[in-house]
Copies of this chain bind each other. A is one copy, B any other.
Amino acid sequence: MDEHNQTDDLGPDPVNDLSKFSPTLRAVNDSMLEGLGQLADYFGYNKAMGKMYGALLLSPEPMSLDDLMAHLDVSKASVSMNMRMLENMGMVREAWVRGDRRKYYEAESDLWTILTNVLGSRELRDVNQALNVLESNISDLRESAAAMSADEQKLALFYIERIDRMKDFFRFAKLVLTSILERDKKINITDVKRIDIE
């Protein structure tokens, strides 16, 4: 028996004993891994990457690369490549297992944390910068309009109208990003019932 299962108090060994599970547990496990594989594929990543994340997410114990290979029937090369990508995206992390020198991994189970990692604050900064550019263009046009010819004033009004509509759009992007990034500080997402746009 693997040493890392010695402290297992969460039922049957989820890593190797999947066949001993009740049919429902097996069906749910299959469904989740299949779904996460499709999701990874949807976003242009590797299907195996989604399945690996799913296997770790539904495992109460950390899993080694060997465990994942056996569980998912994928090659060593694919498992190690996908694990590096999952680590880079903050979706999994190394876990220490007593008495075992192999590397073990566990899933980051909070998808909000993952999204915040991936988005970072870079996107919010970029959106703010775009908003500043749009606003300063509008105010430049407004301030200079008096010194323009009548024809140029017409065009300036046209520019202002187009830029203003773009501003609304970036303002919405900013609101969505802000509510994601600040969520941990302010709100309990399980209580979200509605997004009001007002």
Chain A residues in the interface with B (C-beta under 8 A): 10-12, 14, 21-25, 27-29, 31-32, 35, 39, 42, 57-58, 60, 109-112, 115, 126, 130, 133, 137, 140-141, 143-144, 147-156, 158-159, 162-163, 165-166, 168-169, 171-172, 175-176, 179, 183, 187, 189-198
Which residues of B are found within 8 Å of A190, using beta-carbon distances?
Answer: 168
Instruction: Say yes or no: B58 contacts A111, CB within 8 Å.
Output: no
If A32-B163, A111-B166 touch, whether A25 touches B155 (CB-CB below 8 Å) is yes
The 10 closest A-B pairs by CB, nearest first: A11-B151, A24-B144, A11-B155, A111-B169, A196-B196, A11-B154, A175-B195, A28-B137, A168-B189, A22-B148
Name the prevailing secondary structure of the A interface residues.
Answer: helix
- Closest residue to A150 on the B side, CB-wise? B11
Min C-beta distance of A2 to chain B, whole Å: 17
Copy total for this chain: 2
> Are B159 and A25 in contact (CB-based, < 8 A)?
yes
How many angstroms between the C-alpha atoms of A172 and B165 in the bound complex?
26
Q: A24-B144, A35-B130, A111-B169 are in contact. Are A192 and B183 (CB under 8 A)?
A: no
Instruction: Please tell me if the beta carbons of B198 and A162 are within 8 angstroms of each other in the complex.
Output: no
B195 touches A11 (CB 8 A): no
Q: Are A197 and B183 in contact (CB under 8 A)?
A: yes
CB within 8 Å for A24 and B166 given contacts A58-B159, A171-B192, A195-B179: no
Tell me which of B57, B155, B165, B191 contacts A162 (CB under 8 A).
B57
Residues of B within 8 A of A198 (CB): 187, 191-194, 196
Name the residue of chain B whose CB is nearest to the CB of A174. Answer: B195
Picked from B152, B175, B193, the residue with its CB within 8 Å of the CB of A11 is B152
Inter-subunit contact B42/A126 (CB<8 Å): yes
Contacts of A115 on B, CB cut-off 8 Å? 169
In angstroms, Cα B191 to Cα A168, docked, is 9
